Amino acid sequence: MHSNEIKLFYKVIESPVGQLILIANESKLVGIKFDYKKEEELPVNFVKQDIHSILRNTEIQLDDYFRGKRQKFELPLSMSGTDFQKKVWGKLLDIPFGETISYQELAKRVGDKKKARAVGNANGKNPLPIIVPCHRVIAKDGSLGGFGGGLPIKRYLLELEGVVLNSQKQISI
């Protein structure tokens, strides 16, 4: 590891949607990844740290969320991306638990309803899925759209939050 590389800490947890890798710097949560098969594939600046306070608190809050006891996360977050991506991710935090909006509506909230595809791309690069609820954005026709963790996980998260999905619009995977 180079001396100028930022050290990141990680913890692997089990969840109803599979293994999650929680990633933090010294003071903030910076990433959540779905289902890494091998920890050896993680970057060299990642240090396993099961007792890191941010990672432990994230694990507790995610557990509460999956058990239906939490609707909003209270964690210090740091998200690296372009200004546009950060603006999109900030608007995701405004979507209430159990509600969905369309990519076009998200684009409108960001400032240009013609940028639905661009907000979809930013959504797909969200470094903190579940915590920053990109799963709450669906296509205008009611179909799921996309999701970095896969559509079955997106469906699971929405149903966990009580969203009634139009089953005829959903793609079975």
Q: Catalytic one among 134, 138, 157, 158?
A: 134
Cα 22-40-52 angle, rounded to 5 deg:
30
Active site residue 105: no
Cα 163-165-166 angle, rounded to 5 deg:
155
Calpha distance 48→96 (Å, rounded): 33
> What is each CA distance from 59 to 22, 63, 83, 110, 121, in whole angstroms?
8, 6, 28, 30, 27
Calpha distance 150→19 (Å, rounded): 13
Segment holding 83, helix H or strand E = helix 83-92
Beta bridge partners of 22: 11, 32
**Catalytic residue annotation:** 134
